[in-house]
């Protein structure tokens, strides 16, 4: 498949065909996590049995997430429908989705909730986008309606959907739309102008994504029982995805969502999970200088061949760079530091040992032997040589400057030419690698899909070496005071 080079999230360069006027080729797996809701699931499957998408390309995987009584497949369902159990090693929608994706055979994974009635072209409208590019996340449109069991029969639903009359099953005027997605979409020209947090628009009730992209992003987190869609949307965005709202792919959502039923408790429950795993939710981390599972910026420093003091200067400046949720990755020969007898003052790895000891208690510093292509799922990577020190607060300002200009890469240049370091946006680095697998002219691709704009390194830091430690007599006497070996001197 050809891969068009989409800049930021501007999917407007793609022109999908009208429903019915093209020939689908991609197999799709509709994965439905189901916990109880037996009567609603019957209606969901009846609607899928009347889809316009070719039946031979459509499979449905229903995952029974511990329903009581167990889910059974109704008579009216798509031809290729399978029922699997979520398994005893977990529970919840994230766990069930993970199980469904593991057994799904489609090139595209389309999630639907077990309480939705999809319109006739719902699957087709999603899939027409995926035939144009293989790094899109397509978001369906849902309308929430009051539902009473017995309102509809599967036969009625199948007939209405097959005849293109599913919009008449309920009154749209009395339905509740998804205000969040609609509001963001309206403010950003249908997400075409959306910024780095576009992944938060993913609502699991109706979404589709290429299976390979989903796996590259790490799949659905099975540990999350709420908010798994938002967290997945974040990782998909960091994996290079472009998000496309498909307003025509409308479904009736039978009953209110969990968020609408109890918004205060839902938000309270989800906040700590999402704050820990989604660093672009800056408001949730504001004013808190602490570690998180996923940091905001990964500062990578190669320590090989550098002195201990030079490394410390760079690390300490990075930690004081104004980003509270920063991580520093030190590259070095850490796996070669054995415990054999040696000349501890003059051995080959003395600087590496001193650095490792110096930061072994600092949780924001990690030791690695290689850096990898990017810092996924961390949003930003900043690289600089050992000995170069960021100005106080400069890292936060540099990230902010990059965000304002929506840049993919900010190289830090030297007056004589060349790069001293660079700030890279993970989402676009991943997308560029997808678009240029052989890594040829990667910066050219990054400039095309996001922008590369250099700055003067001297404006953001200094390469001057730190001064030597002051070992004066006054400082030694102060040390004695701190150790309680002489009385403190009176303050003048």
* In the predicted structure, residue 146 carries a pLDDT above the cut 90: yes
% of the chain exceeding 70 in pLDDT: 95
* In the predicted structure, residue 397 carries a pLDDT above the cut 90: yes
Residue 474, in any domain of the structure:
no
Average of pLDDT values for 162-190?
Answer: 91
Residue 82's pLDDT band (cuts 50, 70, 90): very high
Residue 163, in any domain of the structure:
yes
pLDDT at 203: 82
Residues 267 and 321 in one domain: no
* In the predicted structure, residue 473 carries a pLDDT above the cut 80: no
Residues 134 and 233 in one domain: yes
pLDDT at 417: 82
Residues 326 and 452 in one domain: yes
Nearest-angstrom CA–CA distance, 290 and 248: 44
Residues 216 and 315 in one domain: no
Nearest-angstrom CA–CA distance, 426 and 24: 32
* In the predicted structure, residue 476 carries a pLDDT above the cut 80: no
Average of pLDDT values for 112-138?
Answer: 97
The answer to whether 28 and 208 have CB atoms below 8 angstroms apart is: yes
pTM for this prediction: 0.92
* In the predicted structure, residue 393 carries a pLDDT above the cut 70: yes
Residue 396, in any domain of the structure:
yes
**Mean confidence (pLDDT) of the chain:** 92
pLDDT at 287: 72
Q: Residue 339's CB: how many other CB atoms inside 10 A? A: 5
Residue 285, in any domain of the structure:
no
pLDDT at 444: 93
Task: Please name the residues in contact with 208: beta carbons below 8 A apart, sequence gap of 6 or more.
Answer: 28, 108, 109, 110, 111, 126, 127, 130, 137, 138, 140
Residue 326 belongs to domain with CATH number: 3.90.550.10
Task: Please name the residues in contact with 370: beta carbons below 8 A apart, sequence gap of 6 or more.
Answer: 331
* In the predicted structure, residue 354 carries a pLDDT above the cut 70: yes
Residue 491's pLDDT band (cuts 50, 70, 90): low
Residues 301 and 271 in one domain: no
Segment (H or E) for 400: helix 394-405
Residues 354 and 210 in one domain: no
**Which residue matches tokens 């496309």?**
244
Nearest-angstrom CA–CA distance, 323 and 463: 21
Burial of 219 (0-12, 13-18, 19+ CB in 10 A): middle
pLDDT at 492: 58
Average of pLDDT values for 7-25?
Answer: 96
Residue 320's pLDDT band (cuts 50, 70, 90): very high
pLDDT at 177: 86
Nearest-angstrom CA–CA distance, 351 and 464: 19
Residue 472, in any domain of the structure:
no
Residue 471, in any domain of the structure:
no
Average of pLDDT values for 342-355?
Answer: 91
Residues 301 and 265 in one domain: no
Angle of CA points 406, 410, 411, to nearest 5°: 165
Average of pLDDT values for 276-288?
Answer: 87
Residues 226 and 264 in one domain: yes
pLDDT at 2: 62
Residues 370 and 413 in one domain: yes
Which of 183-192, 241-250, 306-315, 338-347 is predicted least confidently? 338-347
Domain count, the chain: 2
pLDDT at 467: 59
SS3 208: strand
Residue 480, in any domain of the structure:
no
Residue 260's pLDDT band (cuts 50, 70, 90): low
The answer to whether 100 and 32 have CB atoms below 8 angstroms apart is: yes
Structure confidence by residue, pLDDT tens digits, 147-159:
999 999 999 999 9
Residues 302 and 245 in one domain: no
**Which residue matches tokens 């691709």?**
445
pLDDT at 208: 98
Nearest-angstrom CA–CA distance, 57 and 25: 8
Residue 489, in any domain of the structure:
no
Structure confidence by residue, pLDDT tens digits, 53-75:
999 999 999 999 999 999 999 99
Residues 48 and 20 in one domain: yes
Residues 212 and 335 in one domain: no
* In the predicted structure, residue 368 carries a pLDDT above the cut 80: yes
Nearest-angstrom CA–CA distance, 190 and 245: 7
Query: Which residue range is the domain that position 404 belongs to?
Result: 297-462
> Max CA-CA distance within the chain?
93
């Amino acid at each position: 498949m050809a891969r068009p080079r989409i800049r930021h999230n501007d999917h407007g360069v793609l022109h999908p065909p009208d429903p019915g006027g093209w020939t689908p080729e991609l197999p799709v797996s509709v994965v439905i996590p189901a916990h109880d809701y037996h009567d609603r699931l019957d209606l969901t499957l009846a609607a899928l049995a009347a889809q316009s998408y070719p039946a031979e390309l459509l499979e449905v995987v229903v995952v029974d997430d511990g329903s009581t009584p167990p889910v059974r497949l109704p008579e009216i369902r798509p031809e290729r429908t399978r029922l699997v159990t979520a398994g005893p090693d977990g529970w919840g929608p994230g766990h069930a989705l993970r199980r469904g994706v593991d057994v799904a055979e489609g090139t595209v994974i389309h999630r639907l909730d077990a309480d939705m009635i999809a319109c006739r072209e719902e699957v087709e409208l999603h899939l027409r986008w995926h035939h144009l590019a293989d790094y899109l996340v397509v978001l369906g449109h849902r309308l929430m309606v009051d539902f009473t069991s017995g309102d509809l029969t599967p036969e009625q639903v199948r007939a209405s959907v097959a005849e293109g009359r599913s919009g008449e099953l309920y009154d749209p005027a009395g339905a509740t739309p998804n205000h969040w997605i609609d509001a963001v979409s309206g403010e950003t020209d249908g997400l075409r102008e959306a910024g780095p947090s576009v992944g938060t628009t993913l609502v699991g009730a109706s979404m589709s994504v290429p299976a390979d992209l989903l796996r590259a992003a790490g799949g659905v987190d099975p540990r999350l029982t709420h908010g798994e869609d938002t967290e997945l949307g974040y990782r998909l965005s960091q994996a290079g995805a472009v998000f496309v709202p498909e307003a025509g792919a409308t479904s009736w959502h039978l009953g209110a969502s969990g968020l609408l039923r109890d918004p205060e408790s839902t938000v309270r429950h989800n906040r700590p999970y999402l704050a820990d795993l989604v660093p672009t939710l800056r408001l949730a981390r504001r004013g808190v200088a602490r570690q998180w599972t996923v940091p905001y910026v990964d500062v990578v420093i190669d320590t090989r061949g550098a002195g201990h003091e030079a490394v410390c200067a760079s690390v300490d400046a990075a930690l004081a760079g104004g980003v509270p949720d920063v991580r520093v990755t030190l590259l070095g020969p850490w796996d070669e530091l054995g415990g054999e007898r040696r000349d501890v003052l003059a051995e080959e790895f003395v600087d590496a040992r001193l650095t490792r000891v110096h930061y072994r208690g600092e949780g924001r510093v990690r030791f690695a032997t290689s850096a990898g292509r990017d810092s996924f799922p961390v949003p930003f990577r900043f690289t600089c040589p050992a000995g170069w020190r960021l100005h106080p607060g400069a890292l936060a300002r540099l990230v902010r400057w990059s965000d304002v200009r929506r840049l993919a890469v900010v190289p830090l240049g030297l007056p004589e030419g060349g790069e001293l370091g660079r700030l890279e946006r993970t989402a676009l680095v991943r997308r560029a690698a997808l678009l240029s697998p052989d890594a040829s002219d990667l910066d050219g691709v990054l400039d095309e899909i996001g922008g590369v704009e250099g700055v003067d390194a001297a404006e953001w830091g200094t390469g001057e070496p730190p001064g030597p430690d002051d070992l004066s007599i006054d400082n030694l006497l102060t040390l004695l005071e701190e150790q309680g070996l002489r009385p403190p001197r009176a303050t003048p």
